[in-house]
A and B are shown apart, each in its own frame.
Chain A
Amino acid sequence: SQQGEEDPQALSIQEGENATMNCSYKTSINNLQWYRQNSGRGLVHLILIRSNEREKHSGRLRVTLDTSKKSSSLLITASRAADTASYFCATDARSGGGADGLTFGKGTHLIIQP
């Protein structure tokens, strides 16, 4: 079942601007992850934030997590044409090992205009 919902569905900005995408989810989580997908390809893992973390950085990426609001945001700073892709949030409700499968949102399609 779909848990994460990204907002907006589509976003178009100029190169060099910052891009912000939001994700809301419904149930308690162990961690939340963001993935990128270039057109017609597989997903690439970008960053994982645990439920006890509030903010995490990786290069030009900044992720925040607000468990009280069940929401997360992904900020891409100084965007580049190569950032054009779809971005998905995914929630992991596991508390232990093994697999339950991540639950993905429907994605935000980001277009960076040169």
Chain B
Amino acid sequence: DVKVTQSSRYLVKRTGEKVFLECVQDMDHENMFWYRQDPGLGLRLIYFSYDVKMKEKGDIPEGYSVSREKKERFSLILESASTNQTSMYLCASSPFWGRDGYTFGSGTRLTVV
């Protein structure tokens, strides 16, 4: 069964901490994505990548960075966590010519206190 695995289901971090959210897929997909989901705002794209070491900004990249050193792993980094980054974070992947939709991870609910 194909899978996208996010390293943590729940995280609590302090303001100002550097936070790493990890995502691993086992489907040999080229494309990987990070979204955040907030009540009333839906899913918003933070960053995406279509190849190793490649990254592109999504709609709300401010305050975030990403790393893709290996094809299967896409990390989201909060350089200095703030309370307005409290959210559900969703990772997804798809093939380069993906026409069958995205495969999502189970999500990481991050609380910044």
Contacts and interface: CB of A to CB of B under 8 A. Distances in A.
B42 A48 contact: no
Contacts of B48: 99-101
B96 A97 contact: yes
Contact of B42 (A50, A98, A99, A106): A106
A33 B101 contact: yes
Chain A: number of interface residues, binned into ranges: 20 to 34
Contact of B56 (A42, A44, A97, A99): A99
A45 B102 contact: yes
B42 A104 contact: yes
Given A101-B33, A106-B41, A48 B100 contact: yes
Interface residues of B, number: 34
B31 A99 contact: yes
Contacts, number: 70
Interface SS of A by simple majority: loop
Contacts of A88: 42-43
A45 B103 contact: yes
A71 interface: no
8 contacts: A35-B104, A45-B103, A48-B100, A99-B31, A99-B33, A99-B48, A101-B45, A107-B42
Given A42-B4, A43-B90, A98-B30, 19 more contacts: A33-B102, A35-B101, A43-B92, A45-B100, A45-B102, A45-B103, A48-B99, A48-B101, A88-B42, A98-B50, A99-B30, A99-B31, A99-B48, A99-B56, A99-B98, A100-B48, A102-B45, A106-B40, A106-B42
Interface of A: 1-2, 31, 33, 35, 40-45, 48, 50, 88, 97-107
